[in-house]
Amino acid sequence: MQKIFAANWKLFKSPAETRQFFKNFKEVVSKSTGEVVFFPPAICLEAASESVKGTNIAFGVQNCYAQVQGAFTGENSAQTAKELGAKYILIGHSERRQIFGETDAAIADKVALTQSLGLTPLLCIGETLAERESTHTYRILETQLELGLAKADKTKPVVIAYEPVWAIGTGKVATPEQVAETHTDVQTILTKLGFKAPILYGGSVKADNAAGLIKQPHVGGFLVGGASLEVDSFIKIASV
């Protein structure tokens, strides 16, 4: 199956910086060995949409609300993202869970809405350091998947990103052995729940560790934060 290389820009880049990035990225995108997907800030979505028109570069928003419109000040509409050409919605990133108090129940509704619009949810799961150290990782991931996919349609596409919270933005990448073991667990849980989904790894993926991680079993690609902000480092990762 084709690998997926996803870029999570978080709250970085303006519309002008987005346009400049894609101007340079389009010159090197053919080096990628898989599908590339960008999650710019929602306010840059139109700039991204215009910039990638006519290419096979996909994009989406970093979060959506569980309804397409209404009195929900400050939220993003998945429907509007779709109208702009989005293909994916990032859902349940650990920063959403930890900083904004997003619950598994809300995540399940967002996954269901995203699929109902014909878009692909990219559902993030992952354990904290305390959870890993108390060897609860399997149970945490199983609960996040069970609850997050509770309303999902098994016949429609869904992508999972396994992102250990302790590896996000910390420079502390999971070892290839940890990735192999945990991705095998995630694959087991997904099979048990009846889902078929690529499993991306995320958490301090860089140009110099990507090649070792992509070879591990059940690694379907990467979700990249910091290293996706520069064309050079991201294309190196996307061409492993």
The residues binding ligand PGA (CB under 6 A) are 8, 163, 168-169, 202-205, 223-227
Report, in Å, the least distance between residue 231 CB and ligand PGA.
16
Identity of the residue, 71 or 214, whose beta carbon is nearer to ligand PGA in the bound complex: 214
- The 10 Å Cβ neighbour count of residue 51 is 22
Whether 50 is catalytic is no
Active site residue 136: no
Kindly tell me which of 123 and 223 has the beta carbon lying closer to ligand PGA. 223
> Least distance from C-beta 17 to ligand PGA, angstroms?
17
Q: How far is the CB of 6 from ligand PGA (least distance, A)?
A: 8
- The first and second tokens of residue 15, run together, are 């519309």
Q: Which is nearer to ligand PGA, 50 or 166 (CB)?
A: 166
Q: Determine which one of 35, 95, 102, 163 is catalytic.
A: 163
Looking at this protein, which amino acid is placed at residue 134?
S
Among 2, 4, 3, 5, residue whose Cα is nearest residue 227 = 5
Dihedral angle at the C-alpha atoms of 209, 185, 8, 61, nearest 10 degrees?
A: 160
User: Could you say which of 35, 93, 102, 218 is catalytic?
Assistant: 93
Which C-beta is closer to ligand PGA: that of 141 or that of 188?
A: 141
Rg over CA atoms, the chain: 17
Using the minimum distance from each CB to ligand PGA, give the nearer residue, 92 or 225: 225
- Shortest distance, CB of residue 105 to ligand PGA, whole angstroms? 22
Q: Report in angstroms how near the CB of residue 132 gets to ligand PGA at its nearest.
A: 16
Query: Which residues are the active-site residues?
Result: 93, 163
